[in-house]
Structure 1
Amino acid sequence: MDTLPIISLEQLKDLSSPSGNEEHKRLYETCLEHGFFYLKDHGISPELVQKTIEASRHFFQLPEEIKQAYSQDKQTIYPQTCRGYSPLYGETLHEDVGPDPKAIFDLGIERPSSDQPFTGRTLIPDDIVSPGFASYHYQLQGEIMSKIVPHLLHGLAVALGKEANYFDSYFDEPILIHRTIYYPPEGGIAGKHTDNGIFTILIQEYFPNPSLRVYTKEAWIDAICLDDAFVVNLGDMLQLWTNGLFVSTPHEVMHKLEQSRISIPFFVYPNVNAVFQPMGSDETINPTEVMLNNFNAIWVEKTGGGRAKELK
């Protein structure tokens, strides 16, 4: 395989048969074999996507002292590293690569301040400081969380032979790490890693030459940019949930073009207080503990993200 499969969300939304349709079977095979795919027919406006990308680039081009006013250490949520701005060389996704030459800003679903991890509000620039940055991102977040996430969860459940609502009670107040990333020209990198959530929905800025590389069961391949299609990859949480049936997929970014690159991933996790049993097991998993361990590995121990230690 030299390109990723394409899955239609519109076809996954057809739940007229409890056992699903041909697209659910394709989703199962794709998750089993690759863990990465393009998602088309998602219903998100290309204009909204482009405006959000442009607003992100404008923010990252602001003077450093302005961006630092919204840095992780100014955030009031726990852990602070799950929200706000981090400059180049802030995050370590693979120990051998070291800190990544990329800048990030993390948001989440805005909820009242809480002593629960990953729950609260984001200190984010308003339209005076960075026009459209907050408003477009939150609009896009609402679209992703309402038009894609529930239907993709239903599709995965049916593909796994479960009832469509199998995941619903675990995701009625999900944790979301919503990120915008700035890769500088001729050298932006995200080291080899796996994502930690149940799945990630990635919006790539369109370039004819790809920067994202994905490891399938066969080899590393380039994930080209497709017009009006998002990239979806499975995370460690789904690997745990399916008891290893679906495996989180390693990937990296090597951006070598003369232009900077913006990407916007949405890392989707279960509710903060959820506990689940891996399929066919009596074991129990606390997703929040898995998340906290992952954030500690990335930001404190700097040993990498997800299953990075397994990746050479």
Structure 2
Amino acid sequence: MKIKAHLLVLSNRLLVIRVWQSSENIFPEVEGKALVSAKDSPVYVASVKNLSLAAETNDSSYIFFYSLEVVMPCGFMDYPCQRWCHLLNGLWSSLPVPSVQEIVRNDANNVPERYIKYLEDRPLSSEKCPVSLDIPIINLSLLTNGDEDERKKLDLACKDWGFFQIINHGTDEVLPKMKAAVAAFFELPLCEKKKYAMAANDVQGYGQGYVVSVEQKLDWNDLLFLITMPSSFRNMKYWPITIPGFKETLEEYSIELQRVIDEIFSNLSLLMGMEGGFLKELQGVMKLGMRMNYYPTCSRPDLVLGVSPHSDCSSITLLLQDDDITALQIKHKEAWIPVKPVPNALVVNIGDVVEAWSNGLYKSIEHRAVTNEKKPRISVATFVIPCDDVELNPLETMVDDNYRPRIYKNDVKYVDYLRHTLARKMDGKATNLQYLKL
């Protein structure tokens, strides 16, 4: 069987190709040998063991994952290839797009067509956001002291909302320094910021994430993404060393967050019927991925989104946001609820990993960000990322055949879930967690 592929990504056990539908019968399950060709990649003859995943993308193309038995180079052929996504080294690549910050600097009154969302996706086409609901506020100092009532509040927040704000977390002094460091980066000239642009096969760097197609509608933001902890995972070529104190501030903030994260995991472990250190140990070598966002003003905030609806492929996420701009919205009971900033608070949300471990008891909630006309906004989302080989099985204490039957698979590794998630644009929660469900 010959396949003319517009994408080729290959490791010694995984083949990923992108094809366009040519008939009603796309590609059935394949047994035997496949010849895969690409203009700028080697051609491989592989014994294809089975088709392990097939998913439709946003532009009527299809992505296929094949498990390989034998791989051997055999020359080149002349079929075209586009670098659509990359799952070999960094697992992900986002196509380069213009800086939204520069678009606004050049013409603040114009919104390019590519940023105008489809009617059903626009922020004001949804049900009007209720303004009387606030997400729970958790006092971290009480949790640290073993307060049972506060732990029950945390339990309810994770079950009912999947989001909460934490106060008295002990990181107040570093928060303004962190905001200033991020602002300093985005104030650099574009030519300077481009020195830190994402490489073709890397998740880290300056640009915009989850851009997988030239036809895709874009979000109204620029970002800088860095792995900050452990230090051995850092790629320093993306760190803007021209900004005085930038590195030191990110290190200080990361260390303070690690303490907060440990306390949250300790309490979640106890609530899930485990010893206090269980969830931290379960994750292996835990990484902190920091996404620093810049949302320029927008003359038509009713047409665009700062970040499209999504759930997080993390264990948990901690968000530092501006105190005077309400932009984050979470989906609660089919309505979009604005998260009003609380001065010096950190917003915490449950990620897909903890939802799977809790067998769906703790909710990874869909969320998005809107824009405004008057003032740009900065936020810093820190994702807690487990080790690649960690399995996302529901914990035994969270499964009961009579009252809470298992809804998620066994033996799905985090790296496989991450491949599935990062190979597509942000598109709500269901497409992420459906991969994990029975």
What range is the shorter-chain TM-score in?
0.7 to 0.9
Q: What one-letter code is carried by the residue in structure 2 that aligns with 1:285? A: V
Moved more, 255-264 or 180-189: 180-189
- Could you list the runs of 5+ residues in structure 2 that have no partner in the other structure? 1-131, 400-405, 434-438
Q: Is the 8 A contact 1:175 1:269 kept in 2?
A: yes
Counterpart of 1:256? 372
Counterpart of 1:241? 357
Larger fraction in helix = 1
* Pairing of 1:170-209 with structure 2 (within 5 A): 170-186=282-298, 187=301, 189-207=306-324, 209=325
Q: Is the 8 A contact 1:33 1:217 kept in 2?
A: no
- Per the alignment, do residues 255 and 67 of structure 1 end up closer, same or farther by CA in structure 2, a change over 3 Å counting? same
- Could you list the runs of 5+ residues in structure 1 that have no partner in the other structure? 114-118
Question: How far apart, in 1, do the equivalents of 2:379 and 2:193 lie?
Answer: 18
- Per the alignment, do residues 219 and 163 of structure 1 end up closer, same or farther by CA in structure 2, a change over 3 Å counting? same
Q: Cα offset for 1:57?
A: 1.4
Equivalent residue in structure 1 for 2:385, among 255, 269, 278: 269
- Per the alignment, do residues 245 and 92 of structure 1 end up closer, same or farther by CA in structure 2, a change over 3 Å counting? farther
SS in structure 1 opposite 2:423?
A: helix
- Per the alignment, do residues 172 and 309 of structure 1 end up closer, same or farther by CA in structure 2, a change over 3 Å counting? closer
Query: Scaled by the length of structure 2, what TM-score is found?
Result: 0.60
Q: Is the 8 A contact 1:269 1:287 kept in 2?
A: no
Q: Is the 8 A contact 1:197 1:268 kept in 2?
A: yes
Any idea what the Cα deviations from partners look like across 1:206-226, whole Å, max 9, x if unmatched?
Answer: 11x411111123622110110
* Pairing of 1:79-118 with structure 2 (within 5 A): 80-81=202-203, 83-87=204-208, 90-92=209-211, 98-110=217-229
Q: What one-letter code is carried by the residue in structure 2 that aligns with 1:86? A: G
Any idea what the Cα deviations from partners look like across 1:51-83, whole Å, max 9, x if unmatched?
Answer: 221221121121222111111117xxxx502x1
- Larger C-alpha radius of gyration, 1 or 2? 2
Q: Cα offset for 1:14?
A: 2.9
Question: How far apart, in 2, do the equivalents of 1:123 and 1:306 lie?
Answer: 33
SS in structure 1 opposite 2:344?
A: coil
Q: Is the 8 A contact 1:35 1:216 kept in 2?
A: no
1:30 aligns with 2:151: no
Q: Cα offset for 1:284?
A: 2.1
Counterpart of 2:22? none
Counterpart of 1:48? 174
1:292 aligns with 2:430: no
Counterpart of 2:128? none
Larger fraction in strand = 2
Question: How far apart, in 2, do the equivalents of 1:294 and 1:107 lie?
Answer: 19
Q: Cα offset for 1:178?
A: 1.0
More contact order relative to length (CA 8 Å, sep ≥ 6): 1
Q: Cα offset for 1:167?
A: 1.1
Q: CA RMSD in A?
A: 2.6
Q: Is the 8 A contact 1:111 1:120 kept in 2?
A: yes
Q: Is the 8 A contact 1:193 1:308 kept in 2?
A: no
Any idea what the Cα deviations from partners look like across 1:22-47, whole Å, max 9, x if unmatched?
Answer: 111111111111111111111103x4
Counterpart of 1:116? none
Moved more, 272-281 or 216-225: 272-281
Question: How far apart, in 1, do the equivalents of 2:371 and 2:158 lie?
Answer: 26
Q: What one-letter code is carried by the residue in structure 2 that aligns with 1:173? A: V
Q: What one-letter code is carried by the residue in structure 2 that aligns with 1:231? A: V
Q: What one-letter code is carried by the residue in structure 2 that aligns with 1:202? A: L
Q: Is the 8 A contact 1:185 1:258 kept in 2?
A: yes
Percent identity of the aligned residues? 26
- Per the alignment, do residues 255 and 173 of structure 1 end up closer, same or farther by CA in structure 2, a change over 3 Å counting? same
Question: How far apart, in 1, do the equivalents of 2:158 and 2:345 lie?
Answer: 17
SS in structure 1 opposite 2:386?
A: strand
Query: Scaled by the length of structure 1, what TM-score is found?
Result: 0.82
